[in-house]
Amino acid sequence: MGKPTGFIQYERKNNKGSEPLERIKNFNEFHVPMSFDERKQQAARCMDCGVPFCQNGKPIMGMVSGCPLNNLIPEWNDLIFTGEMDAAAHRLLLTNNFPEFTSRVCPALCEAACTCGLNGDAVSVKENENSIIEHAFESGMMTPKPPKTRTGKKVAVVGAGPAGLATAAQLNMRGHKVTVFEKDDRAGGLLMYGIPNMKLEKHIIDRRIKLMEQEGIEFRYNCDIGGNISAQEIKDEYDAVVLCCGANNPRNIEANGRDANGIYFAVDFLKATTKSLLDSGLKDGNYISAKDKDVVVIGGGDTGNDCVGTCIRHGCKSVVQLEMMPKAPDTRAENNPWPEWPKVCKTDYGQQEAIALYGHDPRIYKTTVKEFCKDENGNLKGVVTIDLAFEYDKETKRNVMRQIEGSEKFIDAQLCLIAAGFLGTKEYVPQAFGVSTNARTNVATENGKYSTDVEKVFTAGDMHRGQSLVVWAIREGRDAAREIDQYLMGYTSLK
């Protein structure tokens, strides 16, 4: 710890973002990095607390507290403060393959567990991490590092999302020949087509993929294993196969009128916008437009917020976001103490933009859709909502939802986006490889293992654990790589 009094002397400051009404004019990232001297002060706030909960990554009361990657946060915060950015990057990359992704899209479990947050504001870990990796790229430190020797083993990675990319990076570093098969036309999975450019500009992904290719990893696109390519051919050709296809089977909303034109899953809406933006700057029109439409977004999570921000950039007439759960408190409740994950209300960028543009928060809590209303041509014209109440069920010992009859309301809508989460992986890939799935439709393995019940077939990421965070996908990819290396070589040197 280079500055023992840093957490007392300096207040937390964040990178400044452009104003909501300005940033909605484009799809660019909108935060501007602070000066290096200011960043050093932010790093100086890391207090060498003795027990760094920030890097713990363990469940507390059912929710993980701290970084699942066990990032060496106090170490590289100190190195930022002392100006040793190359050393900071070295320490960061020991545990995290893709800090340029996590420092943009991770909800910062580390900050929620920061000791400074017990009686004040947490250290700005996420932005400190971003400053390290961006300095590493800008300074020329991030050069290709192909393995000096090859093992002669071939591994197929199915899926180029964060879990697949982490698996590929680790196994390639070990010396195995890795080929990544991706069903889309670009790598990244939900990083590419599920997260809007405002949070993660896609040249950041392309930059990393280029580096991985230079290190010897082969990427094959438009390859739908189990679809246009035989799973058996992959098993026959490779010494090991790891399935990292995500949990992209969206949860539906079953209600009368669901067949109306104008109702889409959020992931399809976001993917279409991003692909059109990358292909043509939206000039090709190959996306689901919200322009001049009243929009209802079903789902109050990050994906719902991304839909709000995207619809506003399209030029929607209005936007409403429906959330089944009650509004969370603005500050920690007494039964939610530090270092538990804070169950508090977060107003994200899309909601901030809606407030600035329309004058009110787009979220309506404890509400769901009872009916989709169609016009005479079968097009969506509105939704009927109904309020929800939560009651404690003594038999199940759980809170259950019930609809409040008579609370129905009509909301104009020509576009409805379902952002209600995901149910698990799509069935055709596990079926093609003959691997078993569990009750949640995730690929089944023994607890703590990544090998399936089919010889030399492994799995990792959301396909294995269910819908989760990018940081967990990277963790799973690294752990799966270690198990695959052990399988291939009889021992492993991967961390």
Considering only residues 103 and 392, tell me which one the structure prediction assigns the higher pLDDT: 103
The whole-number pLDDT of residue 47 equals: 86
61 pLDDT tier (thresholds 50, 70, 90): confident
Residues 206 and 283 in one domain: no
Question: Is residue 146 in some structural domain?
Answer: no
Same domain, 58 and 82: yes
What integer pLDDT is reported at residue 12 of this predicted model? Answer: 97
Q: What CATH number has the domain bearing residue 176?
A: 3.50.50.60
Give the residue numbers spanning the domain of 210: 154-248+423-489
For the chain, how many structural domains are there in total? 3
Q: What is the average per-residue pLDDT within 171-184?
A: 98
pLDDT of amino acid 217 = 98
* pLDDT of 398: 85
* Predicted model pTM: 0.96
Residues 358-379 have pLDDT tens digits of 999 999 999 999 999 999 999 9
Whether residues 262 and 364 fall in one domain: yes
Same domain, 272 and 132: no
456 neighbors 486 (Cβ within 8 angstroms):
no
Q: How confident is the model at residue 1 (pLDDT cuts 50, 70, 90)?
A: low
The torsion defined by the Cα of 381, 386, 387 and 393, in degrees rounded to 10, comes to -140
Q: Is residue 92 part of a domain?
A: yes
In angstroms, the Cα distances linking 87 to 142, 146, 316, 475 are 13, 20, 47, 22
Are both 385 and 443 inside the same structural domain?
Answer: no
User: How confident is the model at residue 394, as a pLDDT?
Assistant: 83
Boundary of a domain, candidates 138, 168, 190: 138
Residue 43: pLDDT above 70?
A: yes
As a whole-number percent, the residues of the chain with pLDDT over 70 amount to 100
The mean-pLDDT minimum among 313-327, 330-344, 352-366 falls in: 330-344
pLDDT in tens, 420-448: 999 889 999 999 999 999 988 999 999 99
Q: Which of 52, 19, 30 is nearest to 123 (CA)?
A: 52
pLDDT greater than 90 at residue 4 = no
Q: How does pLDDT run across 385-399, given as a tens digit for each residue? A: 999 998 888 888 888
What are the phi and psi torsion angles at 446 (to 5°)? -65, 155
Burial class (CB in 10 A: 0-12, 13-18, 19+), 397: exposed
Q: Write down the pLDDT at residue 33.
A: 96
- Percent of the chain at pLDDT > 90 equals 92
Which of 396, 420, 444 is at the close of a domain? 420
Q: Report CA-CA distances (Å) from 36 to 15, 16, 261, 456.
A: 12, 14, 51, 48
Average per-residue pLDDT for the chain = 96
Taking a C-beta distance cutoff of 8 angstroms, is the pair 96, 104 a contact?
Answer: no
The whole-number average pLDDT for the span 157-173 is 98
Q: Average of pLDDT values for 151-175?
A: 98
Residue 77 near residue 123, CB atoms below 8 Å: yes
All residues at 6 or more sequence positions from 223 whose CB lies less than 8 Å from its CB, including other chains: 181, 182, 183, 229
**Two tokens at 56?**
């713990």
